Homo-oligomer: A and B are copies of this chain.
Amino acid sequence: MSVTQPPFTSHMDAALDEASAAAARGEVPVGAVLVAPDGRVVARAGNRTRELSDPTAHAEVLAIRAACAAAGSERLPGHVLYVTLEPCPFCAAVISAARIARVVYGAADPKSGGVAQGPRIFAHPQAHHVPEVIDGIAAAEAEALLKNFFAAKR
C-alpha cells in the first residue's frame, strides 16, 4: 500500500518525547507514534511494562492496540509507525499482524531487535504482511536516552 511521505523528524521528535516520558516513569525509554494515512497522529505511547505488569506493554504495542480499539479494527492499513528503537520480535510480529504500511525506527537493537537481527520477523513467509522499513532516523538521540537510562540504573 502506498503511503504519503511523512515528515520524519516531527513524528520522530514526538516518539522521542514519549521515550523521555517513559524514562521519567522508570520504564525503558522507548517511544512510538502512529500516523494514519491522512497524516493524523492516531496514537502515541511509551513503554509501560513495569507500571502495568504487562510484558506486552511495549510502546509500539500500546500505540497499535489503542489505534485498533479506536478504529474498531484489528488492522491499520496505510498507517506509519515511528518508534525510537528497532522493534523486538513480538512488536515486529504485531506490526505485521496489524498490516502497518511503514515502520520508521531510530536506534538499532543488537541485543533484543527482531527486524534487522535475530529472528528477522519480516524475512519469513510466516509474516503475512511485510511493511516498508526505514531505519536510523534520530538514532543518536534514541540511543543517548537508552544509554543514560541504563547508566543511571547502575
A contacts, CB < 8 Å to B: 49-50, 52-56, 61, 64-65, 68-69, 71-75, 88-94, 97-98, 111-114, 117-121, 123-128
Asked if A119 and B121 make an inter-chain contact with CB atoms under 8 angstroms apart, the answer reads yes
Q: Which of A49, A98, A114, A128 has the most CB of B within 10 A?
A: A114
Quick one: closest B residue to A114, CB to CB? B126
Pick from B50, B118, B127, B128: contact of A125, CB below 8 A.
B118
Complex Cα distance, B73 from A53, in Å, reads 5
Pick from B49, B61, B88, B127: contact of A56, CB below 8 A.
B61
Chain B residues in 8 Å Cβ range of A52: 69
Pick from B69, B111, B114, B128: contact of A53, CB below 8 A.
B69
Chain B residues in 8 Å Cβ range of A92: 89
Asked if B118 and A124 make an inter-chain contact with CB atoms under 8 angstroms apart, the answer reads yes
Q: A-B pairs with the 10 shortest C-beta distances? A: A118-B126, A90-B93, A119-B119, A118-B124, A89-B93, A55-B97, A55-B74, A55-B98, A90-B90, A53-B72
Chain B residues in 8 Å Cβ range of A61: 56
Q: Give, as a whole number of angstroms, the nearest-CB distance from A122 to chain B.
A: 9
Quick one: closest B residue to A66, CB to CB? B54
Complex Cα distance, B114 from A123, in Å, reads 12
